[in-house]
Structure 1
Amino acid sequence: MSSSSVSWQDLPAAFVGGIDPSYPDEDPINDLLLGLIDLDHGRSYLAYCEYSSVAVMFDRLVAARESSDGFIVDGFADCASRIAKLRNMTRHHAEVLLNEAVALRDRLPQVFECLRDGLIAPWQAKLIISRTDLLDDQSFAPVVDASVADLLRHRTGTWSRKRLRDMVDRIIFRHDPNSVRERRKEALDARGVWTESRGDGVAEITGVMAAENVRIAVAAVTALADAACEHDGRTKPQRMSDAMFALLSGATFECQCGRDDCTAQIPEPGTLPPVDTRIVLHVVCDESTLAGTAHNSGLLDGHGIISDDHVRDIAARPDTTVSFLVPPGTVPTADGEFTLPAHQPADPYRPSNALDTHTRLRDGYCVEPGCGTSAFDCDLDHVAEYNHTDPADGGQTTSVNLNAKCRPGHLLKTFGDWVDDQYRDQHGRLVTEFITPEGLVIPGEAETNEDLFPGLRRIRYESPPAKAPPPSPPHEHRPARTGTRAANKHARRRAERSRNRRRNNAGPEPTY
């Protein structure tokens, strides 16, 4: 066996991030960041080459000898054994690699090309494979493959794990809702509870149940774990483990701070803390699906796409409250749109309940790329900063100027030098972008829930009134000042957003 003559160290610097190790401090931050993108493209291409080679091995060692396979040793096991021994990996991982290679080449050839071209990362390819398992031997599999690949190629923005998962699931449901429903039934039939020893005196308990029940159970465990006072020395996972045992067994959950002045409010065994704790799950669907006159998919917050039957099952639960974003009886405009109030009557800064809910439904998750925090657990942020002194001169409370950010992302934007921008492009799609302190524009997520619920685009909000600033008290000798630090910072951010629009030629100049 001859060793490879390829020397990866001899590759040009452009292929490995463009870093000169001799002068690491001289590379601009933006060049370093862009170099990471080049490395990602290379990682994708190497994965494509790996899958291609493994698929050829499958053809020669598996497909070509199926008729002569034995009862125990077959071509698949023989091929996996070769890969496992050569690469010092388990046979299971070698079999997974074989299955992924064949799935990409034969079931998802256009997605496979997206991996080759660096449009997706290897982990994204694996996720798409896992979400399309039910497409084997389905006539519409090429249509799903083409639809997913088309969005990957032509949709501007990034794909986080949850956004990509939801996109693939909604495309599959659109083409074959019956398979999705049948798969859910089979999954529910397989529910149960299992235990397994993990050694060293600990064991693991696993419960499989309906997704909404899991969310409720986790919320109950979390609420009880949070009943301990701030001086409890356990980590949150440790407190949740103890709280789960208390709820399952009826034992008392106790704070372990050991202090005489403990402020913990520990509930009675088998109950939640007596602090008006409510467990709220958000299930989103359109009105016709709820009524059973349409068969569109819905969204279970924290879980992802669910079938129309699943939506109606949850709606029929006795503990479910159904509410409507557009109040029943609201009269649409001539073009079928609905107009709702944008802000609280007494405070143009505070969004109305309708706009607050609409923003969270539309975003689904934190808008920062890669963040999977539910929008219902996020802060709502004015993208262009609201001017409390003169609202007409600052970012107003509108649908386009609000988005959901997790608490760390919100704080980083508020107190750091990051700038984000949000606008609708020439096709009416909501675009979010983030600008680093060095001026590098990072695209936001490629989709919002408007792709899942197009009816959200039919809702409009009244423009906030332009409120004139209060008159300044007369001061004959008051020194002149160009603006506060906050005002200057906001002005710089407005200028950066305007430059971003001109640089990208992506839309009209922002209005504030």
Structure 2
Amino acid sequence: MSLAVDAGSTENILGPSVGMPIDNPLAMIALTKHSANMAEIASLLHTIDWAQQHTTNDQAHAASGDRVHDIPLAGEGTPWIDESALMELAAETGMSEHQARSWVGDALELHHRLPKLFFRLYDEQLPVWKARLVAQASRVLTVEGAAWLDKELHMRFEKIGPTALKRFIAHAIDRFDPDEAARRAEAAADARKIDLCPQDDGTDDLYGKTDHADGLDLEAAIQKAAADLKEQGSDESLDVRRSKALGVIARHYLAGTTAGAVTRVVNLYVHADSEGQFTTEGGTGLTTLTQLREWSQTSNTKFILRPVIDLNQRLHRTGYVPSVEMREQAILTDKTCVAPNCERNARTADLDHIEPYDKDHPDRGGPTSSDNLACLCRYHHRMKTFTHWTYTKLEPGYYLWRSPAGKHHLRTPSGTIKLG
């Protein structure tokens, strides 16, 4: 299907603008892309002004570049930014906490440590995304290393791509900070990991980093398993067979030499509807009977049927620690951390007493009950506990947050609404 828009209807959408080539779509694309880049430059400048208003001299209250690892928001010589203010910026702009850290860190890095490159933004040739790419890579450099990188790149940025940039960064580290070069080599080895992220459609996204030699072995195993699936009659695409090959490899390892060993466990919450759909553990979407049938046909699969939990029932208990059923009810209701714009899985979150529980005077504090419990990731739990962010549970899945500046944000099952 094609969509044709004439000049008149375009004016109705965008409003009349003198001199705009609305009869030339290619020119309009270039113009709007340019306007978007200029808007991002303006946003960077406003971010720098905002950062100057929210600096702190107390490192304990300063935002870091990562909520888990102790890395700086930006490189050596940049100011510290108050952690609570960063959450305010994220909520106000609709960014996730990670996106806000990256955006503010990039602005600080460009303004304070890469001034020559930052100035090139004004000639309307350097796209913001490329400037941010340099800023994100230069954080680890010393002041001298960042100055050298700024000098080397600012007049040749048009030729610099991600691969060349990595070489420049590596050279700057080797030249100005050999100890950091050794540390990065060790850190790269320590950063090896594999993460599985459940999606809403019955699949998982897989991300990871592995040793090169291990990667070669894994690739060879995937190729062999994918080829075996084809020989066994699979008519699926190579990409699908490579994906399924990982499951084959995993089950071979789990089975070992024990006959009949269970190698696949699927936790199933049965909420069947007229179409025969179900919800699986960790998934926020529906699982079809077709998927269940495919899973069950795989050897050594064990299904665990979980009892249905009434998500609207008010559960209550004395004492501070919620029951297993209460935790499960909160996880299935919230699905993610309930802070504004946060999408971290509720399964790994803390269970927070919205109105704090008073261990010394249990009758005075907030109860341990369904209407006073919510899932918060460790970062947002800390923000709620140690700063002036507060929130109220309106009904299951709906939370009204109030920032230290008095702004309100409504967190719903479908996202965050900024109320002002």
TM-score of the two chains, using structure 1 as the length reference: 0.37
State the structure with more CA Rg. 1
TM-score (normalizing by structure 2): 0.44
